[in-house]
Every structure is written in structure tokens, then in C-alpha cells.
Structure 1
Amino acid sequence: MLWKGFQKPKRLAVDQSTLTDKYGIFWAQPFERGFGTTVGNALRRVLLSSIEGAAVTAVKMEGVLHEFQSIPGVVEDATDIILNLKQIPFKLAGDAPKAIYLRADQPGVVTSGMIEADGDVEVLDKDVYIATVSEGGKLDMEMRLKRGRGYVSADKNFDEDLGIGFIPIDSVHSPVRKCNYTVEAARLGQITDYDKLTLEVWTNGSIAPADSIGLAAKLLKDHMNIFINFEEEIETGTSSSDDRKPEIHNENLNRSVEELELSVRSYNCLKNANIQTIGELVQKTEAEMLKTKNFGRKSLNE
């Protein structure tokens, strides 16, 4: 095939010293020249636009009829409060919209930590400033929290079941706050014209940086599959110096393959190949597995 002999990364490395639940630096090498930019740009665009997240899409404030109205006893007007609500990172379990509430009738600063919600909603940053209530003032709000992707305009957040008094607002759902990528020269043996791709990812904490990259890659792969109009050959190829992986001690590797809940056909194929544990399975390459009797592409994907 035309791509035979192409150098491809075998794994994604991570800088453990700087890794947090909101930030990570990842790199992969060696890519053929030009592929670092191709892959990096595609991943960055998907990371910033297409990963699902939760955001406030509509708000109802007691005594407020439109977003430009001021609220007696509250320093900020409705517009400023809505802008502050957009800065709050949420984590929402499930796909159904949720109602969350905020009630403040005492003088002082109102923050995101005062939001009331059920167990399906988590406020990831409880120190986001929302408003300041003065003496005799009161702030009473109900908000609709929904899952979505990227930027959604206010008119698209106008749901038919919104109650009277709700103001639909535009929302940014992406949990990825920022993503940078760089491409440097990489060396393999005596050849120095390969690419090394480095990704730097910031999230709001609702998804780990590594998971966001995994989802972006899966989304790209799913979109590319329709362009493949032939059966793929498994390239055995020669391994590079970057193939070496750190030794990992994982108790799951000793578990039986029966615990994987595979189909009967796939399980019988593994049994006939004398593969008893998950550890024995993960040591097999795709090419080796496809040589197993009755073990086809469908079983491999499973």
C-alpha cells in the first residue's frame, strides 16, 4: 500500500510533573513530515468546538422582565449578572436539563458557591463572583443548566417549555478553555526530518485533559471512517526506539477475559488461542489477533 513504511507514533506521552485535572502537556512522535501540523490542527479545532459540556442557557430573576433591567438593592444589573453566570464551570450528570437556584437576601457578595442544585450538578468553582447585594436588597434566581457543544446563541436556547419570566442567554459549553499545539523536528536513528507534536490543553475541570484529547480523536476517527472504501491491511512494520513503554503494574491485567463481557464468538476465539487473562490479551498486536481462527475485524473492534 502507498502508506507502507510510514512512521507513526505508538503512544501519547504526558508530562506528569505538570499534569492536573485542568491542565496537561502531551506529545507524540515520530510523525512523517507535515503530519504533525495536520493532526495537531485537527485535534485543536475539535477540542475547542466539539467536546460536550454544561452551561446556563436561561435565567429567571425575581422582578426582572428583560436582561437590561436593574435590580433594586443589587449593585449589578441583569446584564452584568448574566455575564458573570457564564464564567461558572459546571459538571452535569446525564443528558436532561436541570434547574438550579440561587437565593441571597443578606447584604454581601454573592458567589457561585451559593448555588443550590441536586446531586446531578456540581459547581466546579465555588468562588466565581456573581453580584453584590446591598442593605434591603434581594437576589432570587432560577437557572436552566443544559449540556451542549461549543457556542449556542440565545435564540437557540429558547426552549418551548421555558416558563414565564425566563430570559434565554447565549452559552459556551466547551469544557476546553484553551489548546495550543507546536510541531518540532524529531529524530529517529540518523533521520532528523520527522515531526514531534506537542499539545497543551486547559479545561474547566469537568473533563480531564487526557480524556478531552481522547474524545476529540475518537470524533475525528468516526468522521473519517466513511471515506475508507476498502479493507485495511494490518501493517506489521518495524518498531522504532519510541515503542518502548514504561512497565505498568496493574492488577486488572491478571483478571480473566471472561470478565470483559465479550460476545460468545469473541470469547471462544480467545479461549481457542489459549488467551486466559487480560494481560495476555493486551500483549497481542492487531496482526496477531487477526491471524486467530474465526477472529475477524468485528471481534477486533469489540
Structure 2
Amino acid sequence: MRKITTSAYMPTDIEVEKISETVAKITAYPFETGYAVTLAHPLRRLLYTSTLGYAPTGVKIEGVSHEFDSMRGMLEDVALFIINLKNIRFKLKNDSNKEIIEYSFKGPKEITGEDLNNDIVEVVNPGAYLATINEDAELKFNIIIQKGIGYVPSEDLRDDIENDYIALDAFFTPVKKAVYDIQNVLVEDNPDYEKIVFTITTDGQVGAIEAFKHSLEAMYQQMSVFKGVLDIDVNTPSPSSSNEHSKLLASVEDLNLSARSFNCLDKAGVKFIGELALMDENELKDLKNLGKKSLDEIKAVMEEIGYPVGGDALKDSKEQLKKKIADLKNTNE
């Protein structure tokens, strides 16, 4: 029987099973009905899109001018060589963001990922096939290897790749598989609570548990944009509403100030109420010919409309308001 509550049940248990360096199972429970999938689905997406990995982004082959070319003495044409290269998974040993690696091979030889290991780069799938060259061939090529997230097509990389390199589609994500299962779990005689079981497999560039950590960090970072909402005083007028924007972008004439106060603001170039809302008391005092009586009047009026001089009613909306006022002034000039 479901009970009336005033907050969602807080999950209390987590189990982390490291099946291998590249495979892990992570279980968390118990969640209220519907909460498990609400969390699991975005975490799965972030596993694929936010986990740092490495990929070749460009290749230069001696004697080759474009990706549809062929090379004497190599079994594969250049297009197939590139496909094979993109299937090799690299990892930079010095944790740098970009390296250019030079290779040179003489035939006869079958070249695999293991042959591309050196002091700078490690190939995490050493058995992956690259190319075969005959006894008369010499294969020299450079590879640009970069760190990144997600997928970037070669069209978007061409402007950043040296002219003599062929740009490659970059598959950065090291996560090969990320699946979750939602199961029911019993809590206080209620069988409707839920358990998330994640199974994560990576290609070896990063471990499965490390990949899950990256997705959690990405979720926290993305959600932090809403942190300012927690600090909002719901009793304070919000400048983000259309009515409040209209008030702040209205003329200072609408404040019905005395002629002396209005003339002082007008001569100082203060045209909009929002400009007063952006000022602190010292800035207001610095306005030429603004006496104490006018200062007190302006402060009282601004307090009355919910934007006290030097207050924080605007908070994170200051830059937006400044831009709107600047645009209005430019339009009126």
C-alpha cells in the first residue's frame, strides 16, 4: 500500500562490481517508482558523449595525395587503410591533448596495432589489423592523435588539420557498451521500489568505473547551471519575468520624481529605471549635482518598486539587463 509522503525516498545502497578493467556492473537502490529511469537514461547518454577518449584525427602518408589514392606495394588502397586506422584505439601515455606520431615500415610486413606502440602512444587493441606491404615497399606515415569526447566528423576537422594531412572522422568515445536494467526491489513490504543495474564496457582507453565517474561529473556540471535557482527569494520580484523587464526598461520619468531629481538624472544620461537598479549608492552619489535630498528620494522610490539601490534583486540578470539597455540607447540615438 502506497503511503502519503512529502519527499522522495533517498536511495541508500550502491554496489560496484569490477568484472575486469574494461567491464563493470554498478547497482544502486532503492528508488521511488519512476526515479530510476529518470536518472539512468541521461547517465547512459552521458557515458557515450562525455567520456574522454583518444582518436586519430588526421593522417599523412608519404607518396599519397588524397584518401582515394593508392600506394605501390601496399595491399590495401588508402581508403581501406584509413578505415583500418580508425578502428585502432590509441591512448596517449603522457596525458597530453594532441600528439603527432611518425611511423616507418619496410616490407614484407603485416602491420597491426601492436606495431604502433611506442614511448608516446599505447594501442589498447594491439591485434587490430592495419595493412600489409610487400618486400619492395616502404610505408611512411604520420598520425595526429587527439583527446576529445563524442564524435566529430572529418568535415568539421579540416580547418584545424595541416594542409598535407587527410582529416579523419574522430570517434573519441571509449565506451563500447552502456546498458541499464530497471528491477523491482522490496522496501517495507512495498514491492514497487526500483533498482538500477548498469553494465559498462569500454575499449581500454579508460576503465569502466572511470567512465562512469566521468558521466556523473558531467551530469553534476551540467545541472549546476540551475544552482542559482536555489538562492532565489520567491518573495522578491523577479527581473526575469516579462512584466519586470518592462518596468526596468521603462523611462525614469515613470518614477514621478521631483523636477530637480529627474533633471539631474537626465543630464547624467540616465534614461531607464534599470540603470538605477544597476547602481550602488556610491555610483549614484557620484552623479553630478545630485544632492542628498534627491539621493534620498531616488533611494526611497527604488526601494518601493522592489529594486533598492545597492541591493541584489537583479543577481545573475545584470549583464542581460545592461545589454538590453545598451541596445535601447543605440536604437534611440
Normalization by structure 2: what TM-score?
0.64
- Structure 2 CA distance, aligned partners of 1:37 and 1:7? 15
- SS of 1:12 mapped into structure 2: strand
Deviation string, structure 1 residues 15-54 (Cα, Å, up to 9, x no partner): 34xx111111111110111111111111110001121111
- Structure 2 gap segments, 5+ residues each: 233-333
What are the within-5 Å matches in structure 2 for residues 60-139 of structure 1? 60-92=60-92, 93-115=94-116, 117-119=118-120, 121-139=121-139
- SS of 2:81 mapped into structure 1: helix
- Structure 1 CA distance, aligned partners of 2:161 and 2:69? 23
Q: Quickly say closer, same or farther: Cα 1:14–1:153, change in 2 above 3 A.
A: same
Q: Quickly say closer, same or farther: Cα 1:161–1:212, change in 2 above 3 A.
A: closer
Matched to 1:155, the amino acid is E
Q: What is the aligned partner in structure 2 of residue 141 from structure 1?
A: 141
- Structure 2 CA distance, aligned partners of 1:7 and 1:44? 22
- SS of 1:65 mapped into structure 2: coil
- SS of 1:85 mapped into structure 2: helix
Q: Quickly say closer, same or farther: Cα 1:190–1:158, change in 2 above 3 A.
A: same
What are the within-5 Å matches in structure 2 for residues 141-220 of structure 1? 141-160=141-160, 162=162, 164-220=163-219
Q: Quickly say closer, same or farther: Cα 1:175–1:161, change in 2 above 3 A.
A: closer
Higher helix share: 2
Size of the alignment, in residue pairs? 227
1:231 Cα shift?
5.7
Given that 1:185 and 1:196 are in contact with CA atoms closer than 8 Å, whether structure 2 keeps it comes out as yes
Given that 1:153 and 1:169 are in contact with CA atoms closer than 8 Å, whether structure 2 keeps it comes out as yes
Q: Quickly say closer, same or farther: Cα 1:3–1:95, change in 2 above 3 A.
A: farther
Normalization by structure 1: what TM-score?
0.70
Q: Quickly say closer, same or farther: Cα 1:60–1:116, change in 2 above 3 A.
A: farther
Q: What is the aligned partner in structure 1 of residue 14 from structure 2?
A: 12
1:97 Cα shift?
1.1
Matched to 2:130, the amino acid is I
Given that 1:14 and 1:25 are in contact with CA atoms closer than 8 Å, whether structure 2 keeps it comes out as yes
- Structure 2 CA distance, aligned partners of 1:9 and 1:193? 14
- Structure 1 CA distance, aligned partners of 2:6 and 2:217? 23
1:58 Cα shift?
0.1
- Structure 1 gap segments, 5+ residues each: 233-302
Given that 1:101 and 1:117 are in contact with CA atoms closer than 8 Å, whether structure 2 keeps it comes out as no
- Structure 2 CA distance, aligned partners of 1:3 and 1:86? 53
**Root-mean-square deviation (CA), in Å?**
2.1
